[in-house]
Structure 1
Amino acid sequence: MSKRAYNFNAGPAAVPLEVLQRAQAEFVDYHGTGMSIMEMSHRGAVYEEVHNEAQSRLLGLFGNPEGYKVLFLQGGASTQFAMLPMNLLTEGKSAGYVKTGSWANKAIAEAKLIGDTFVAASSEEDQYKSVPDLSNLQLPENTAYLHVTSNETIEGTQFSSFPDTGSVPLVVDMSSDILSRSFNLKDFGLIYAGAQKNLGPSGVTVVIAREELIQNSPKHIPTVLRYDTHTKNNSLYNTPPSFSIYMVNQVLKWIEEQGSLEGIEAKNREKAKLLYHTIDNSGGFYRGFANPDSRSIMNVTFRLQSEELEKQFVKASEQEGFVGLKGHRSVGGLRASIYNAVSYDHIKALVDFMGEFQKKNG
């Protein structure tokens, strides 16, 4: 095998090498069927076993709490921005949103097209360099749900904890940090996440929800956009992204092998600590974007003294085999996305490169 890249892409992102190798071994002939998993009918017993196993394995990582359902949908988190209020923002209700950056803003914009919304908290005045304190939120009685974006990939901020919303369902977009750390699923009404960062390849979106929230969708919305359609049909109402779901199942197996969520979290914090230490101890050559108390352990955003120097950094890094270190086009700067599949050794290689670059350009 040729040398693999140091992959710091924000998404689609790195997939564990062990998972890729297992998928490669089964790609042409899955378990003696003479077919690839992507060639099979989604109505067949072989594929349904994979489908159901992935659902069960995902809930198992959270301790199998009662009353929760896993859906495999399509359209990415961007479709959930609309599907969520279509299903839960009913007449007479208002949806609360926490405004923390680029992805939260997209979710708010879609919800406003559907029904009444309000901003429950915001870090806009801080240029989205932090996440707001949600410990003392006062939500109106008619609040349909409170929506939080747990991790902003573009700004590099992340909530370290989540509010107790009482009887109001807490809904969280976890696209960029799902399964990166431990949490109690019972604290949430609904979680959704595109798979292409920590769960597998692009093509499938995971929704984990309390069953009562997704059992009775409004009758006036299109059938394929109703949560209850997919709940009643075990996410097999239409042809699912079967190969992507197979890959999710393989990634979930790999997470179990890493010590489940506790083991993954310990590794992620160790990786982030090393990278942030390098930034903070560079004498100002590298400058972190997010406030220290709101820093993401998934997306590390930083700047140099000038855009020209940042361009030099990106060019030099690419020559050394590093991929994806250019910041998002909307904000510029630099960003290292260090999702579950990015190894500590790759972080070490990055900080060594950063040290050499500083020596040459500092």
Structure 2
Amino acid sequence: MMAREWGWWTEQKLDILSGYLTGFANATRKAGTTVYLDLFAGQPDNVSREPTRHMIRGSARRALDTSPPFSVLKFFEMPGHATALEKNLQAEYPGRDFRVIPGDCNDEVESVLQGLRPLNWAPTFAFLDQQSTEVKWATLEHLARFKRQGKPKAELWLLCASGLLPRGLRLRQELIDDNVACQMSLMFGTDQWQEALSATRSGRLSATEFRAELTNLMRWRLQKDLGYKVTRVFKVKNTSGSEIFDMIFATDHEVGDKIMKWMYSKAQKQQGALQDRARRQRQQKREEEQGKFGLFNAEDALPVMPTGFDVHAADEPAHPPYRASRTS
């Protein structure tokens, strides 16, 4: 199986995951039992598409590497990749209590959570690293309602592809892609997002505002419809600086919120340096292909990464979703 290629922004996302899971595991140490759910666990091997071509450890390995260790881990993956993933993980982590569940996570999550019912008191973290609109709102409902009454909900970290969906919809063409629109409504659990779409197609909202409204709608529904106390968002950008997707964190616990806020602040301050490194590496590769060799490697010219992180960095709260009737 060929290794999947990932950009530096995906590696940064996974670094945030690693950092947060360490904080989560330490904060919940006294509980004695913790649960990790990865609804899009991926394939065993991944490689950077940057000129370095280095291997990148995926989310399943990062969860298994977390210390203190998670007690129970469930990895969901489609059958074509699930067998290879399980084989690789069993060889690398013998004796660990994990399971790779083959199949669509939307079809399998309810039965898996039912099997975990005796642990519905335990601190639980769910990573939903979809590509576009693979997760369904019903799946988010199952996760949000898994925990016993009086216990904090399972924390969610969800990829919201706000920067990519307008292209998938064919936003500026005469007819939108109905299949993408249907999948979006299943993901949001409502077709309310189409009010913002209509406003964008008529010029009342910009494309940037439309992307922001998609992310906001997901945050708003997680809070108002599923009852999460707080959501936070991290905007993921590519080498050119374009926003490609947002990572939405939902939690009921103030400690989890504080840890992720710190991780987001750290990642935000690193993002510019990572973009600059990628640009320099690509430029160096182009020059070397033309027979031009400089005195220094791209790595040598990098700015120093910041060491002081602002844990009080501002984060705009979710607001009521866009409605045409409210702005007409």
TM-score w.r.t. the length of structure 1 is: 0.34
TM-score w.r.t. the length of structure 2 is: 0.37
Q: Compare relative contact order (CA 8 Å, sep 6+) and give the higher one, 1 or 2.
A: 1
